[in-house]
Amino acid sequence: MIASVEKIALPGLRDRTVLITGASRGIGRAVAELFARCGAAVAVNGRDSTEVHQFAANLSEQHGVRAFPAVADVTDIAAVREMFAQLQNWSGNRLDVLVCCAGYPLVEELWRMPLHEMREAEIEQWFRQVRAVDLDGNRLCSHHALKIMVPQRRGTLIFVSSTPALSGYHGTPYTEAKAALLGLMRDLALEYGKYGIRVNAVAPGNIASGWYHQLSESQKQELAREAPLQRWGQPEEVAGVILFLASDLAGFITGQTIVVDGGKVRR
């Protein structure tokens, strides 16, 4: 294997085993790339088998690291159970870092529809579907990851929430699920610190991935002006914060939410 991309080094990441959910694109893909550049063994999760296998092969070829295609829908209990069984077989029953990037895609009508205008059937459908990915999927993967990490007495969980979880916005189903995710993060940080396990979250703002590509140029410019830095963030900028949280540099940080939004939300 030939590593053709410049390596980077953060203490405590080389040769660690990392699982990234939602790694096929956007922030998750950027996270997987950076961990691979640090020399970590990377398991990349996604629902599309062809896409995930290709990405894992590319990571291995470009960075000279071990990479595992962890194909599963994070909302499917049986599929997640099988994914972790395969992961443990591949890694020798080891997992150092879990990064949960899988998220429900932007649906325009949900982002703008006030709660009182939704029909009861729509409330049930949309809140359940968004919650299944943005909250339940994270909880399910954490359940299996912690079963590996507790006997190790070390490990790191990192969740991707969002700034609406902190300040509110349009799109109540998204905001509710992402805010609940921060509650899960705080509880796990409190409960599992005694095992040497750290749990944190990042809250990205306007990042140039996913729904960014559905916007018109005028919409992109308008949203860029929301942040004091007057621009959109890049997936790699969120990934860099996640790598810091996973590294030994953040060894005394747990139960925290790091905002990555160009300064719009100030806490």
Domain residue ranges in the chain:
17-260
**Predicted local distance difference test score (pLDDT) of residue 1:** 29
Instruction: Tell me, rounded to whole angstroms, the distance of Cα 265 from its chain centroid.
Output: 20
Query: Measuring CA to CA, how many Å separate 250 from each of 2, 15, 163, 253, 265?
Result: 31, 18, 21, 5, 22
Collapse the DSSP code of 198 into the 3-class scheme (helix H, G, I; strand E, B; otherwise coil) and give the result: strand
pLDDT at 110: 65
Rounded CA separation 101/45 (Å): 9
Chain centroid to Cα 136, Å, comes to: 13
Hunting for tokens 């991935």 — which residue is that? 209
Query: What local confidence, expressed as pLDDT, does residue 118 receive?
Result: 84
Among all chains, which residue has been given the structure tokens 């009861």? 120
Burial class (CB in 10 A: 0-12, 13-18, 19+), 120: exposed
Could you give the strand order of the β-sheet that contains 41-46, starting from the edge strand earlier in sequence? 67-71, 41-46, 17-21, 97-100, 155-160, 197-204, 257-260
What pLDDT score was predicted for residue 4? Answer: 44
Q: Exactly one of 174, 192, 195, 212 is catalytic; which is it?
A: 174
| Tokens, residue 145 | 């990851």
In angstroms, the Cα distances linking 213 to 72, 86, 115, 226, 238 are 25, 34, 26, 18, 18
Extract the tokens encoding 29: 């893909």
Could you report the per-residue pLDDT of 100-123, keeping only the tens digit for each?
Answer: 999 988 776 666 678 888 888 888
Annotation marks residue 212 as catalytic = no
The pTM of the full predicted model, rounded to 2 decimals, is 0.93
117 token code pair: 């205008």
**One-letter amino acid for residue 260 of the chain:** V
- Flag residues of the chain having pLDDT under 70: 1-5, 108-112, 171
Q: Distance between CA 105 and CA 26 in Å, rounded?
A: 11
The CATH architecture to which 17-260 belongs is 3-Layer(aba) Sandwich (3.40)
